[in-house]
Amino acid sequence: MLKLDIFRQAQKDFHKAKSAIPVLWDTRRILRWFGTSTIIIALGFIAYFWLFSRGNQMARDLERVTHIQMVQTALEMLFQDEYSYLTAAVGCEQEGMPVKFCNLKEYLPNIDAIQDPGDFEYIVQTVPTKTTYAIRFTLERGVGNLGAGEHTLTPNGIQ
């Protein structure tokens, strides 16, 4: 008799569970729709911020290249006047110093204001000598044929 009672109770439980399936299905459908739309909205926000961030990186890279070209022009004007880059070394006599300390005020009056728009610096890699100099800078995404990463400005151009 005990086995028969257990069997009948199991049948009742089965029918209750079976009648609850449509409710579960509706709930699952609602959650699936809500989850899908939430995911779509979240991906939209992520894409927006990614593109916004990417645009900012490109703008910062363009500003960096512009700054480096201004420094290059100032150094070349100095070389045309003195046939040497040595004067520029005053103020940035050590490797690793920011380029804004180099003596280029005569050719680039706003050199103090030139600074990287992001988290990097324009660094003197090789102290200006009579014939050469090297200034290191970093691009986040790249500009033109200059890829992302560290680059060096020398008398031969940007590498």
When computed from its CA atoms, the radius of gyration of the chain, rounded to whole angstroms, is 33
pLDDT band at 115 (very low <50, low <70, confident <90, very high): confident
pLDDT band at 30 (very low <50, low <70, confident <90, very high): low
Q: What is the pTM of this model?
A: 0.65
On the 0-12 / 13-18 / 19+ scale of CB atoms within 10 A, 125 is middle
pLDDT band at 9 (very low <50, low <70, confident <90, very high): low
Q: Residues near 134 by Cβ (< 8 Å), separated by ≥ 6? A: 124, 125, 126, 152, 153, 154
